[in-house]
């Protein structure tokens, strides 16, 4: 028995529900893949930055020791070796503390969470709810 055009064009409610569930599952899987990719990209970017920071810190540490020694040597004839070391040490500690506090604030504001994927999931939920 041949189907009419009306029977082919109008899928049943069961077919529509099945397709809706399949599309919903596909959407959720796609959003999860997007979130995973976003987290992976964010972590890779953070790792590259951390590596560059580590190498830079090692080089700067040697330079700082050299400069601090030179500062102590420069001040020694004026205030004596003990006071020169104390002055240089206190100034270096203050600058270091300020840099650590500043860096901590910047790191605290950085997130590896998948913000775009989360926003997309919220929009999808609103569309499904009908808002």
pTM over the 0.75 mark: no
pLDDT for 63: 93
Contact (CB, 8 A) for 116 and 38: yes
pLDDT for 79: 95
Domain boundaries, the chain: 9-129
Q: Which tens digit of pLDDT belongs to each residue from 39-60? A: 888 888 788 788 888 889 999 8
């Amino acid at each position: 028995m041949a189907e009419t055009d009306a029977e082919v064009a109008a899928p049943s409610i069961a077919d529509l529900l099945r397709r809706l569930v399949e599309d919903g599952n596909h959407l959720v899987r796609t959003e999860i893949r997007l979130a995973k990719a976003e987290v992976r990209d964010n972590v890779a970017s953070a790792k590259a930055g951390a590596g560059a920071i580590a190498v830079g810190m090692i080089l700067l540490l040697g330079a700082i020791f050299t400069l601090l020694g030179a500062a102590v040597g420069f001040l020694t004839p004026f205030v004596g070796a003990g006071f020169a070391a104390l002055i240089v040490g206190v100034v270096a500690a203050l600058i270091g503390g300020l840099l650590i506090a500043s860096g901590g604030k910047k790191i605290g504001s950085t997130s590896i969470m998948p913000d775009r994927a989360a926003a997309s999931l919220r929009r999808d939920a609103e569309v499904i709810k009908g808002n």
